[in-house]
Amino acid sequence: MSTANGHNLDALVGAFRFSREWGMPTGDTFDCPPIGEFVGRWLRGAKVSIDPFARNKRLATWTNDLNPETAAQFHLDALDFLRKMESDGVVADMILFDPPYSPRQVKELYEGIGKKMTQQDGWRTHSWKAERDVINRLVPVGGVCLSFGWDSMGMGKKRGWAIEEIRLVCHGAGHSDTICMAERKVAGDLFDSPNNPI
């Protein structure tokens, strides 16, 4: 597969920076020092950024969190928020994607705001496919998505994204590591929006 500027996507996907750090687990992902450093370093230079799960962080240009008690600008379901960004014509060069990592975390989030979790809500955590498809349309070639979780699925090669960095953050015995991944969009795909300058 070739990128828009003729580079071989397989070659671009093959090399990336890897590091392993230790950090005390925190209630807010970005408050963990090695994760906060990762986010800050990648966020520098971003012109328009979007965070659909921001909680009280105001790091991005556009912030959202389902919980109305947070400092986020919007309080919508993440998919609805991302679709709103798309319909409003927002084009972002940086996405911070830190969703709940498991059905249990979704359930705790929903119960915290008095909402009942459905089976469909639980299934969303397996891939966040619908959200990632909208993100793919919001970001032009050259843009970056930072993904956080317990797996390294990310945006993926099939959507035209290449991994540039993975940081594995160990939280000690009895805690799952947090996988921090930076991917850059290096090629468009059939699902790209005409809004994007590809």
Give residue-wise pLDDT tens across range 115-156: 787 887 777 777 899 999 999 999 999 999 999 999 999 999
Of the two residues 82 and 190, the one the predictor is more confident about is: 82
Nearest to 142 by CA among 176, 95, 102: 95
pLDDT in tens, 79-100: 999 999 999 999 999 999 999 8
Report residue 51 as tokens: 């965070």
First to last CA, the chain: 16
Residue 38's pLDDT band (cuts 50, 70, 90): very high
Q: What is the pLDDT of residue 68?
A: 94
pLDDT at 195 over 80: no
Give the mean pLDDT of 4-33. Answer: 78
pLDDT at 30 over 90: yes
Q: What is the pLDDT of residue 69?
A: 93
Q: Please provide the average confidence, as pLDDT, over all residues in the chain.
A: 88
- The set of residues, in sequence order, having a beta carbon less than 8 Å from that of 92 and lying 6+ positions away, is 48, 49, 50, 61, 62, 85, 138, 139, 143
DSSP state of 176: P
Q: Of all residues in the chain, what percent carry a pLDDT higher than 90?
A: 71
Residue 134 · residue 79 · CB < 8 Å: yes
Of the two residues 88 and 190, the one the predictor is more confident about is: 88
